[in-house]
Amino acid sequence: MSMPISVTRRDFLRASAAAGGVIATSSFFAGNIRGEDKTTVRARNSKIKHVILLFMEGGPSQLETFDLKPGKETGAPYKEIETEVPGFRPAEHFKEIAKRAGDLCLIKSMSSKEGNHSRASYLLRTGYIPNPTLKHPSLGSIVAHQMGDPSFELPNFVKLRGAPFPAGYLGVENNPFVISRPGAKIENLDYAKGVDKERMDRRMKLVKEMEKDFAKERGDEAVEAHKAMYEKARALMDSPLRKKFYLEDEPDEIRKEYGAGAFADSCIIARRLVETGVPAVEITLGGWDTHDDGFKRCAELIGQLDRPWAALINDLKRRGLYDSTLVVWMGEFGRTPKLTNTEGRGHWPGNFCAVLGGGGIKTGQVIGETDELGYNRDAKGNSTLKDPVSPADLYKTLGTMMDWEMTKEFEAGNRPVWLVDKESKAIEKLYK
Amino acid sequence: MLQRSALLSGLALTALLFGVLSEYGVRADDIKKTEAKEQKLGQDWSAMRDGLNGLFGELQKDANIKPSKICDDDTFLRRIYLDLLGRPPLPAEIEAFNPGRKDAEGRKGSEKREALIERLLAHPEHAEHFADYWMVTMIGRDADGNARKYLRQYLRQAFADNKPWNELVYTLVAAKGKTPENPELGYLMAFQNLKADMAGITSKVFMGKQIQCAECHDHPYEHWTQDDFEGMEAFFRPFSTGQKGDGANRYWFNNDQPIRNEMELVRRSGMKGKYKGPTFLGGDTIKFEADKAPREALGEWLTSADNHWFRNMTVNRYMAYFLGMGFVTPVDDFNSINEPTFPVVLEQMGKDFAASGFNTHYIIKAICSSELYQREVDTNRTNRDDFMYYSRSFVKRLTPEQIQRSIMNVIGVERLNQTPEIRDVPENQLTEEEKAQKKIRDGVQNWKNNLARLMRDAYGADPQMYEFGDFDGTIIQALMMMNADLLNTGMLKNAVTDIVARYPSHKDRIYQIFMTVLGRKPSKMDLAILNATFANWGGSDNAAYEDLFVALMNTTEFITNH
């Protein structure tokens, strides 16, 4: 990245603050604007080097997972499992995770006001409520930006299933690399039929030649951003590390430990990537929007989740990676204590659960508590939720633990913005 | 060089112009001396164009900015095709325009360019492209499939008819009836009965007022309160969409709760026990009117000629769309700390637009035929940092819809529209010739469907991505453009085979491939590079031409408008 380009781009933005410009608000060029960030030393003062986010899409019920109210009118007909950690009593289907209670920290008092899937997902993924004029980066993009090495052959943020979520003002190089079918052949990663390395090389050489003239006359920033993406894509195509996306060379006994299914495969791939140096991985497990038939569906979902999650923890521990890898489990909101007549529950952002582990945090504890029926307010509407944690608080906690540049003012379009909401408060119990 | 008289007739601003100029600090003593001549607004789009030319010419001069040159015909042609049809011009269209020379009707220069703008605005692909653009702007790429289908259908017809913008928007906001007869329901269907989104998006897209921040808290730097938000939301509260029927017979209808009196109006629109009635943003609470849904009252207010937010937002969006930079940025965020760069000009253009009967072609023609639109991207020492006076053009990133349309037309160049309609009879009753044509047509259709899927996979569809320019480059996209079988085999090979068969000489072939993919004639420099490349490749078989074709599709130029 040559200096003149970034200088021009900064001036451009500054001018745009007054003049405005579609181009300026786009993050198309953002990677180039912040030339100085590219050279930032990414090693932050933190034990945590990797983050794996297990995102439960649809709003996982707290009452069928980690905040059961057995025997109560709001409770599920599930038994709890007593664990070594007081207050950590997961549903009976969490046979393996129950054994790992000492390696986890449960937050029962996550709380927000967003009960709409899209808005709440945005909030839990970024720590901010959606703002139509600004795109906040999601957790993986922040981690990629703050802790990733830009010259790494693999993408710094890999997302296994789920929709792409742009890195916004953090620039294109921190966008997620989305694998929609984990373990399966990644589309377009191989040369097209009839094309070999030699032909591809000559094509790209011609592109490069053609770009020189275009860059000179019509916008070097666009060409730079374009070139960076292509270089990264080419490097990935020819990289021996790409086998880390696949499971062929993974020993059978390990695969057995994680179990079968797309989520299990994703967990193994996440470990392989983390082991190779990828700082951020997100895995999506959908299907948690249980308006009907919740008892049966949650039991099934936990069946997909329990063994791979526990295996991931065991595997990371065995390889000495658990202390440097933070594993976060959460969804966009919880579900209503009151049951529907179809054994389902509605959306409930007022209190829900998140589970954190690894990264050297203080595990074996439970934060927050709901009342005996699972509500967070008394009859008069006063909050009864113990130690409430907002999504922004959670991000502040993560940012503090990972030593993100939280006081740094970033520029998005024409307004200042921070990685984490300045008004939020970190949960000190997690790391102090 | 513009004559003062032309300048003064411009923007229908005559009397106003010197006020505008002096407002921006231009010393225009000689203008003051000129006799002011009042012109009627909304009568002549070329007056708006002349006004823009004259005004910004003066402003540039005063800021000591020397504008970039007016671009050549080739550049203009590609630029206007991408903006109005969403794809580059194809070789036959380039030939027809005859860059640098007279067209078939003997026109040249600006006259020829204006004739092209007219022709493209009437082109069926323009309605298709603008339907895509506006659908994405209104409801995004990830909205419900049926909502998208119906809204797009409505918009396509509306743009084909050049429906006045106020009527178009009114129809969406006040949509009634049922699908498929009333495809306009698609707009509100997309919000899945979330009234807050109906109010928030409607305000944002059509007025540039971002009241959605006030849904949860009073707006941080605007005077909008939660109360204001609820007042706007209340218009939509009695509304919902219902669905009936199964499978192919499934249809959607507006399911408004009946409102029979004032009390019901307030109650139906009330929330949280506060009973906030439907209230225009910054205005009055509506009174009950029999046989009139609150949404209809909102539609009338929203689209009235007196609503300067509505008309200015539209002007600003088209300025931003065509020039890469509007008077307000972000394009749809008008607020007290985000004032327009030239408020008086915006206001005047807004009035002109309203007076034209909300004819969007009026502003599009004025903008696209202006010097502001037709400047080169190349800058000089004086205007390199101009992000305000429109003294140069910007490189614009194509939207995924434009990229898809470009790929489709470029690779499908020879076969896309070649096959005639096939009689609607069982397959075995077709003649052999018809069968062969049908096979080609089905193949092309199949390829188009696969391309749409490929694009969706590579670009994704994210509810957060509403806006022009939201799409960045990703590794996945680069991989798609380089390696997708769909862009390397079958249709691509056909395209190359067709060109090779039609043009016996190597020189013509590379010329043709270049024009097909990039939508312009190659420059001397381009040709030098291509000749050197082919010499180096040591052969000019089909594989080499394929490599050229695909390489050009992977250039920055292919995915940008400059």
Domain finish residue from B286, B302, B318: B302
Q: Quick one: pLDDT at residue B235? A: 94
Residues B180 and B289 in one domain: yes
B210 → closest Cβ in A133, A189, A228: A133
Q: Which residues of B touch A226 (CB under 8 A)?
A: 473, 556, 559
Mean pLDDT for B225-250 is 89
CB contact under 8 A, A175 and B474: yes
CB contact under 8 A, B457 and A180: yes
| Distance from the B226 Cα atom to the nearest Cα atom in chain A, whole angstroms | 15
Question: How many helices (H) and strands (E) are present in chain A, helices listed first?
Answer: 13, 12
Q: How far apart are CA B111 and CA A92, in angstroms?
A: 78
Q: What share of chain B is helix, strand, coil (3-state, %, to 5)?
A: 55, 5, 40
Amino acid at residue number A202: R
Characterize A103-125 residue by residue with b for buried, 16 or more Cβ atoms within 10 angstroms of its Cβ, and e for exposed: bbbbbbbbbbebbbbbbbbbbbb
B-chain residue closest to A179, CA distance:
B476
Mean pLDDT for B334-356 is 91
CB contact under 8 A, B485 and A193: yes
Q: Quick one: pLDDT at residue B482? A: 95
- Please list, in sequence order, all residues whose beta carbon lies within 8 angstroms of the beta carbon of residue B343, skipping any fewer than 6 positions away: B327
Percent of chain B past pLDDT 70, that is, above it, reads 86
B312 within domain boundaries: no
Q: How far apart are CA B252 and CA B192, in angstroms?
A: 12
B467 within domain boundaries: yes
Q: Which residues of B touch A347 (CB under 8 A)?
A: none
Residues B172 and B282 in one domain: yes
Residues B267 and B404 in one domain: no
Q: Which residues of A touch B341 (CB under 8 A)?
A: 18-20
B266 within domain boundaries: yes
Convert the pLDDT of each residue in A67-92 to its tens digit: 999 999 999 999 999 999 999 999 99
Instruction: Specify the DSSP class assigned to residue B310.
Output: H
Residues A22 and A60 in one domain: no
| Distance from the A228 Cα atom to the nearest Cα atom in chain B, whole angstroms | 9
**DSSP string across B166-229:** HHHHHHHHT--SBTTT-TTHHHHHTTTT-HHHHHHHHHHHHH---GGGGGTS--SSSS--HHHH
B269 within domain boundaries: yes
Residues A278 and A372 in one domain: yes
Q: Quick one: pLDDT at residue B212? A: 76
Percent of chain A past pLDDT 90, that is, above it, reads 72
- The 3-state DSSP class for residue A330 equals strand
Q: How far apart are CA B96 and CA B100, in angstroms?
A: 12
| Distance from the A223 Cα atom to the nearest Cα atom in chain B, whole angstroms | 6
- The 3-state DSSP class for residue B512 equals helix
CB pairs under 8 A between A and B: 245
Residues A273 and A236 in one domain: no
> Which among B165, B167, B184 has a CA at the least distance from the CA of B176?
B184
Residues A176 and A99 in one domain: yes
Q: How far apart are CA B562 and CA B445, in angstroms?
A: 30
B387 → closest Cβ in A19, A26, A195: A19
B12 within domain boundaries: no
CB contact under 8 A, A172 and B543: no
A123-127, A213-217, A333-337, B215-219: least confidently modelled range: B215-219
CB contact under 8 A, B324 and A217: no
CB contact under 8 A, B324 and A210: no
Q: Which domain holds residue B280?
A: 143-302
Encoded tokens for A167: 């890195």
| Distance from the B142 Cα atom to the nearest Cα atom in chain A, whole angstroms | 10
Domain finish residue from B302, B331, B357: B302
Q: How many distinct structural domains can be found in chain A? A: 3
B537 → closest Cβ in A24, A202, A204: A202
Residues A203 and A294 in one domain: no
| Distance from the A71 Cα atom to the nearest Cα atom in chain B, whole angstroms | 33
Examine the pLDDT at B5 and tell me if it is beyond 50.
Answer: no
Percent of chain B past pLDDT 90, that is, above it, reads 59
Q: Quick one: pLDDT at residue A240? A: 94
Q: Quick one: pLDDT at residue B25? A: 55
B179 within domain boundaries: yes
Which range scores top for mean pLDDT: A179-183, B204-208, B434-438, B468-472?
B204-208
Q: Quick one: pLDDT at residue B19? A: 55
Residues A208 and A257 in one domain: no
CATH number at residue A155: 3.40.720
Computed over every residue of chain B, the mean pLDDT equals 86
Examine the pLDDT at A52 and tell me if it is beyond 80.
Answer: yes
Q: How far apart are CA B264 and CA B255, in angstroms?
A: 16
Q: Work out the end-to-end distance of chain B between its first and last CA atoms, rounded to an integer number of angstroms.
A: 24
Q: Which residues of A touch B332 (CB under 8 A)?
A: 132
Q: Quick one: pLDDT at residue B259? A: 86
Residues B405 and B259 in one domain: no
Residues B296 and B405 in one domain: no
CB contact under 8 A, A187 and B378: no
Q: How many distinct structural domains can be found in chain B? A: 2
Q: Which domain holds residue A34?
A: 1-39
Residues A285 and A150 in one domain: yes
Encoded tokens for B399: 């939207």
Q: Quick one: pLDDT at residue A23? A: 37
> Which among B396, B393, B314, B324 has a CA at the least distance from the CA of B361?
B314
Q: Which helix (H) or strand (E) segment is A415 a member of?
A: strand A415-417
Convert the pLDDT of each residue in B251-287 to its tens digit: 999 988 888 888 888 777 765 556 678 999 988 888 8
- A25: pLDDT confidence band, cut at 50, 70 and 90? very low
Residues A209 and A267 in one domain: no
Q: Which residues of A touch B485 (CB under 8 A)?
A: 192-193
Which stretches of A302-373 are assigned E, i.e. beta strand?
325-331, 334-335, 347-348, 352-358, 365-367
Domain finish residue from B302, B322, B338: B302
- A372: pLDDT confidence band, cut at 50, 70 and 90? very high
| Distance from the A344 Cα atom to the nearest Cα atom in chain B, whole angstroms | 21
- CA separation, residue A377 to residues A383, A409, B489 (Å): 4, 37, 62
Give the side-chain half-sphere CA count within 13 A for A256.
Answer: 3
Q: Quick one: pLDDT at residue A43? A: 59
CB contact under 8 A, B460 and A163: yes
Convert the pLDDT of each residue in A410-431 to its tens digit: 987 667 899 999 999 999 999 9
Residues A378 and A396 in one domain: yes
**pTM summary value:** 0.81
B80 within domain boundaries: no
B-chain residue closest to A193, CA distance:
B485
Q: How far apart are CA B393 and CA A21, in angstroms?
A: 12
**DSSP string across B385-425:** T-SSS--S---EEPPHHHHHHHHHHHHTTTTTTTSPPPPSS
Q: How far apart are CA A181 and CA B291, in angstroms?
A: 53
Q: What is the largest CA-CA distance in chain B?
A: 84
CB contact under 8 A, A165 and B462: yes
B-chain residue closest to A171, CA distance:
B472
Convert the pLDDT of each residue in B520-538 to its tens digit: 999 999 999 999 999 999 8
| Distance from the A285 Cα atom to the nearest Cα atom in chain B, whole angstroms | 17
